Amino acid sequence: MAGSARNFLEFHDLPEAGLRSIIARAGVLAKAWHERTMPQSLAGKRVGLIADDGGWRNTSAFDLGIQAMGGLCVQVPIGFNVREETGDLGGYLGNWFDMLVIRTKELATLKAVAAAAPVSVINARTRSNHPCETLGDLAYIESRRGSIEGLKVVGVAADANILRSWAEASIALPIEVVQVYPERWHIRNAALLNKRFRVSTDMGELSDADVVITDSWPGDVAGDVLAGYRIGTDILDRLCKDAIFLPCPPVRRGEEVTAEAMEHPRCQCRAAKAFLLHAQNALMEWVVA
C-alpha cells in the first residue's frame, strides 16, 4: 500500500479480519438500503470512477453507492497506456480525489496507479481478477447461511478473472475452492496455489458443494468439448438442499448453463448481484475509515 492508503487490488490484499468486517457490514448496509436510511459515510469524499474497458454493473453500483452515502463521484473519461504514463496519471488524479475506483484491463496498470497515487485505489475489474464480484457473492452467501466458515465453493469455469478471485479468496479466508474443468484450462499461477485451493476434472466434486459458480466458456472451444461441464437442472437437482448456484453474468444459456438451470430454485444470481452494491459500499467505508 502506498503510504497510509488502503488499496483493494487483489482479494487477499485485505487481512481476514478486514474482509470479515466488510462482509458483515454489507448485510447491515443491505437493510439500510431497503429502508432508505443509508449512512452518510462518504460525506465530503471525492471519488474518481474510471472504466476504460466497458462493463456497467459494478461501476454503476459504485456510482450509485457513493452518492447514496453522501460522496461526490466523478466519472473520469481517461484510458490507460494511451497517451500519458500511468504513474503520471496516478499522481494527477491524487491531486483531486480521495479515492479511485478503476475498471481496466491489466492488473499491472492498477498497481502502477496505486504506487503513484497518494490515495486509495479499488479494483473494479481487470482481466486477471474481479475481487469485488467475489466480495459481493460472499456477502450474499453469508446473508443466506449466517456464516462463510468452512464453505466449499466449486468453480466450473476456466482460468479467468472470476475464478482467480475465488482462488485469491481462499488465500485470505477459511473457505475451500475447487476448480472443476478440463486440465487445459486449469489455474497454474503459482501465486494462487495454496492449501485451500485445488483443481480437478471430476464433476462429482459438486455433490457436497455449498456454492457452485460458473463463467462464460473460453472463446477457443471447438464444438461441444465442454458439454460435460454444462450446468443443467439434472445437476442442480443433485446438489445439497441448501446449495447456492451463482452463474456469473453475462450468462450464455446453452453453453455453460442451460436456460432451464437459470430458472431453478437454487439459482440465486439475481439476488446475489444485489449484494454487489452493498459489499462495495461496505468496502468503500472500510477504505476511508
Q: In this model, does residue 4 exceed pLDDT 80?
A: no
**Domain assignment of residue 169, given as a range:** 133-272
Q: Are 261 and 234 in contact (CB under 8 A)?
A: no
> Can you give the pLDDT at residue 56?
85
Distance of CA 29 to the CA centre of its chain: 18
Give yes or no: residues 45 and 154 share one domain.
no
Alpha-helix residue ranges (DSSP H) falling in 148-220: 161-172
User: In the chain, pLDDT over 70 holds for what percent of residues?
Assistant: 98
pLDDT band at 55 (very low <50, low <70, confident <90, very high): confident
Verify that 29 and 77 share a domain, yes or no.
yes
pLDDT recorded at residue 238:
96
- Whether residues 79 and 60 share a domain: the answer is yes
- Residue 223: the pLDDT is 66
Q: Is residue 172 part of a domain?
A: yes
Alpha-carbon separation of residue 92 from 1, 23, 26, 80, 119 (angstroms): 18, 32, 32, 13, 11
Note whether residue 31 is domain-resident. Answer: yes
Number of domains composing the chain: 2
CATH number at residue 279: 3.40.50.1370
Q: To the nearest whole number, what is the mean pLDDT of the chain?
A: 94
Q: What tens digit of pLDDT does each residue of 79-116 get?
A: 888 788 888 889 999 999 999 999 999 999 999 999 99
* Residue 2 belongs to a domain: no
Using a 10 angstrom Cβ sphere, with 0-12 exposed, 13-18 middle and 19 or more buried, the burial of residue 263 is exposed
Task: Please give the pLDDT value at position 224.
Answer: 83
Question: How high is the pLDDT of residue 173?
Answer: 98
pLDDT band at 23 (very low <50, low <70, confident <90, very high): very high
Q: Is 200 helix (H, G, I), strand (E, B) or coil?
A: strand
Give the model's pLDDT for residue 276: 97
At 53 the pLDDT is: 82
Q: Quick one: 25 and 98 in the same domain?
A: yes
Any domain includes 196? yes
Q: Are residues 139 and 260 in the same domain?
A: yes
User: Quick one: 27 and 154 in the same domain?
Assistant: no
Q: Do 199 and 107 fall into the same domain? A: no
Task: Give yes or no: residues 72 and 191 share one domain.
Answer: no
Question: Any residues with CB less than 8 A from the CB of 83 and at least 6 apart, and which?
Answer: none
- Same domain? For 83 and 170 the reply is no
pLDDT digits (tens, 9 = 90+) for 109-164: 999 999 999 999 999 999 999 999 999 999 999 999 999 999 999 999 999 999 99
Alpha-carbon torsion angle 146, 267, 265, 205, nearest 10: -80
Q: Are residues 121 and 140 in the same domain?
A: no
Q: Are residues 214 and 120 in the same domain?
A: no
Segment 14-24 mean pLDDT:
97
Q: What pLDDT does 289 receive?
A: 85
pLDDT band at 2, cuts 50/70/90? very low
